[in-house]
Amino acid sequence: MSFDPQEMLARFRERAAAVRRRPLPPVAGEERQHFIAQANVDFQDFAMIGDAQATLEDGVLTLRVDLRPSSKSS
């Protein structure tokens, strides 16, 4: 079995989308806020990895994530 970095990135993009589709459990108050906060962190982490540029060279996987704000041109 060979490792395909692009397939891994696709799985992370799907995980990010799944977090957005995740229904809220029937909890209220502080527990609900904790669940929402954790979902936001999960989405951010999965989305960043899903958007990464991946290279596999000599058995070393490198993920490059550009965190610079996108420039908006008019």
Q: What is the pLDDT of residue 73?
A: 60
13-38 pLDDT, tens digit per residue, is 999 999 999 998 888 899 999 999 99
- What is the C-alpha separation between 58 and 21, in angstroms, rounded? 37
- pLDDT over 80 (residue 64): yes
Place of tokens 């993009």: 13
Q: Please compute the mean of the pLDDT values over residues 52-69 and round it to a whole number.
A: 94
Contact 58, 13 (CB under 8 A): no
Q: Where are the domains of the chain?
A: 5-64
* pTM more than 0.75: yes
- CA 62 vs CA 6, 32, 53, 54, 55: distances in Å: 12, 36, 8, 6, 5
